[in-house]
Amino acid sequence: MLAAPAVAQQAAPTASPTARPKVGLVLGGGGARGAAHIGVLEVLERLRVPVDCVAGTSMGALVAGAWSAGLSPEQMRTELDKADWDDMFQDSSAYADLSLRNKRLAQRFLPGSETGLTPLGAVTPPGVVLGQKIKLFFNQLVRADRGEPQIELLPLPVSIVATDIGSGERVVYRDGSLTQAMRASMSVPALLAPLQYRGRKLVDGGLVDNLPVREVRERCGAQVVIAVNVGSPPLPAESISGLLSITAQMVALLTEQNVVQSLASLGTQDVLIKPELDGITAGDFGKHRAAAERGRVAAEALAPQLRALAVDETAWQAWQQRVAVRESAVPQIDEVQVAGLLRVHDALLRRQIEQQRGTAFDVATLTRDLDRAFGDGYYQSLDYSVQRIGGRQVLRVLPVEKSWGPDYLRLGLQLESNLSQGSSYLLRAGYQRTWLNRLGADLLLAAELGSSTGVSVDFYQPLEFTQLWFVDARADYRRERVDYWFAEQRLAEYRTIRQRLDLTAGMNLPRLGQVRAGWRVLHGENQLETGLDLFRAFPERNGHGLLLALELDRLDRLYFPRSGWAAQATWFRSNDHDYQRLFTELRAVASVDQTVLATRLAWTGSTRGSLPLSEAGRLGGFLNLTAFAPGQLIGDDVAYGHVRAEHIIGRLPLGLRGDMRLGLALEAGRVGVPYAVQKRNGWLGSAALYLGGETPIGSVYVGLGRGSGGAVNAYLFIGTP
């Protein structure tokens, strides 16, 4: 494939091949605005302007590297079209592919709160985005599946500019891994984690040389420089009001200073292209086609100057042949190696990799497999390379374990208010120790403080290296105040104490869920705080017995999914008090364009005997008969169902997963054996109107419900359930 395919072209004045000056192309940084470079390249190819070397910073490094590696501007447009930019700036694997244990961690704790606890103190992740998916995108873009492109071996000389964040030095890569250099140059400080490469910690080259004019003069002795400046101007003072805007302004000011110096070095023979990019920010990757078009327009406006650098068709063909990158065949993989693991056993990583020996390398499948493996939560990055070793094609998987692990602090927050019961809050903290032994034992200590108080200990021990089989021991203690209702009047408040011990063994069902069986011990008591002792006739029945549980979860998101399904069934038989409790739940979600349709069906009841108060089913609360207070309806044989429709009215900014929705739910519920007098028995109805979505601080919603008999309630919720 040629780096710059020949294009039919109208006659134009051309420079003599022997007399033409050496031309250096400079592609500046600017985030998403850098897609304008693609349009500039299209014009250079149309006009037949040969280039002797190219240098790039940040997004300019991506375009320069891809062009030197053989991608045409048209191919770059296609690849950017296929990229899911919202997903690329999220390191987390698809929720549906996480293990059930990690899904429950995500439910209890805020993902962004993970902090490493090391002998040197608390250590936070090196960036908001670690860049896992970005690096794999670079691999796919430059066809690293056929061998990692080495900068010094590319026919068209290319230079990639980065910054050593430790020393502040300008670092220029003229050799080594192309994708590593591209990744380093795009590491925006505080957003994208720095890259450790060749003993340096590297960040965005824009801090020291956003428009590397000097580099092309030094690299190939460029006599004429074509410089494309796509940087964002500093913000006006009135727009700077918070930490994020101050950080962005600091980067913009540093960048602008070195750009001014580069522009001052341009002479009358050089060509400066500055596309009009108003309305496109550094984060607007979804507007890459608009940016490319504006780059093309800006270059076309300078066509007279550029034509002076053009050559005739014969010379153009010769230049194309000289810079052509010959496409090699997809290799047959003879061996798969996993290198660099210290704590994690390689069998755990290998179980995710489907690439077989003796078959053609499937880069799309490997990218998917590495994404799933990343969801195990043990890695800072997962990369790969294809190398020819001793006449064999070896696929090397290159994991880097978290530098801030293996012990972590996690936090959760819950703020809730409703008309019936007022406001409540809950703070949650968890201390997790991973890889306590070679099989991957995990200890989680958690504590809650607020409207309820509790502590829990969970020890999880896999039984073999792939962690398919496991044993688990969990103990919980919780103390909370619980309201009880009589004829829809809140007449009593109890202090409830619950203690539970589960000893289970089970099997992980990959990308599906978990099944387990074991022994449960329960202890509970209710102490009247205020009001009437309505439930004296329902003393707690402590006991122990057999526990069976099945939990399947294929929803695509934790709080507000767009597709998928989930099913759960838990059965407990008390040997002491001769009762059996069964809880079942089914959820299903589908979407059509911007509308999400969902349903939930649930049943709690005894299959033998009668349930004790602490194990009874409850209705009331948001999307659980919304018009009634949380837990207002209590008893045995409790059924519930709803259907809801949600319209997506907005999406979170780049790098954040989730959206905001306006929803309507129609609900029905029944308490077959009420434990308190209800005004109405049989099936009760409720309708809910709400606004909510998934955010970095958990789920957020505000809703209003109206139900049977004129029951009304309103809710506000922020945080983790």
What is the DSSP track for 80-92? HHH--HHHHT--S
Distances in whole angstroms, Cα of residue 320 to Cα of each of 4, 23, 62, 158, 414: 6, 15, 21, 16, 61
Query: Phi and psi of 624, rounded to 5°?
Result: -145, 45
Q: Where are the beta strands (DSSP E) in 275-368?
A: 332-333, 335-338, 359-360
The four Cα atoms 94, 99, 100, 104 give a dihedral, to 10 degrees, of: -70
Kindly tell me if the per-residue pLDDT of 8 is higher than 60.
Answer: no
Rounded to an integer, what distance in angstroms lies between the CA atom of residue 369 and that of residue 351? 9
Q: What percent of the chain has pLDDT over 90?
A: 72
| Alpha-carbon torsion (401, 405, 407, 410), positive or negative | negative
pLDDT of 2? 33
User: Is residue 537 classed exposed, middle or buried when 0-12, 13-18 and 19+ CB atoms within 10 A define those classes?
Assistant: exposed
Cβ 440 vs Cβ 406: under 8 Å: no
Q: Left, alpha or beta for 708 (phi > 0: left; psi -120 to 50: alpha)?
A: beta
Which pair of tokens denotes residue 83? 């990229």
Kindly tell me if the per-residue pLDDT of 13 is higher than 50.
Answer: no
Q: How many helices (H) and strands (E) does the chain have?
A: 15, 32
Q: Where are the beta strands (DSSP E) in 463-542?
A: 469-486, 489-509, 513-531
Summary mean pLDDT of the chain? 90
Beta bridge partners of 583: 570, 604
pLDDT digits (tens, 9 = 90+) for 273-320: 999 999 998 888 889 999 999 999 999 999 999 999 999 999 999 999
Q: Where are the beta strands (DSSP E) in 33-165?
A: 53-57, 115-118, 121-123, 158-164
Cβ 622 vs Cβ 702: under 8 Å: no
Which pair of tokens denotes residue 636? 């045995």
Pick the residue with more confidence: 32 or 237?
32
Flag the least confident range among 140-154, 338-352, 650-664, 676-690.
650-664
Cβ 678 vs Cβ 671: under 8 Å: yes
Q: What percent of the chain has pLDDT over 70?
A: 94
pLDDT of 350? 95
Query: Phi and psi of 407, rounded to 5°?
Result: -110, 140
Pairing of strands 335-338, 659-674: unpaired
Rounded to an integer, what distance in angstroms lies between the CA atom of residue 417 and that of residue 622? 11
Kindly tell me if the per-residue pLDDT of 537 is higher than 90.
Answer: no
Rounded to an integer, what distance in angstroms lies between the CA atom of residue 424 and that of residue 453? 12
Rounded to an integer, what distance in angstroms lies between the CA atom of residue 319 and that of residue 52? 9
pLDDT digits (tens, 9 = 90+) for 26-76: 999 988 999 999 999 999 999 999 999 999 999 999 999 999 999 999 999
Query: Phi and psi of 479, rounded to 5°?
Result: -130, 125
Kindly tell me if the per-residue pLDDT of 345 is higher than 60.
Answer: yes
**Rg value, the chain, Cα:** 31
Kindly tell me if the per-residue pLDDT of 390 is higher than 50.
Answer: yes
Closest by alpha carbon to 472, among 423, 408, 518, 536? Answer: 518
Which pair of tokens denotes residue 26? 């400079």
Kindly tell me if the per-residue pLDDT of 107 is higher than 60.
Answer: yes
Beta bridge partners of 596: 591, 646
Cβ 92 vs Cβ 376: under 8 Å: no
Rounded to an integer, what distance in angstroms lies between the CA atom of residue 659 and that of residue 647? 10
Pairing of strands 158-164, 53-57: parallel
Which H or E run includes 124?
none
Contacting residues for 146 by C-beta, under 8 A, at least 6 apart:
327, 328, 329, 330, 331, 386
pLDDT of 283? 83
pLDDT of 11? 36
Amino acid occupying residue 293: E
Distances in whole angstroms, Cα of residue 299 to Cα of each of 312, 325, 384: 20, 25, 38
Average pLDDT over residues 519-524: 92
Strand, coil or helix: 710: helix
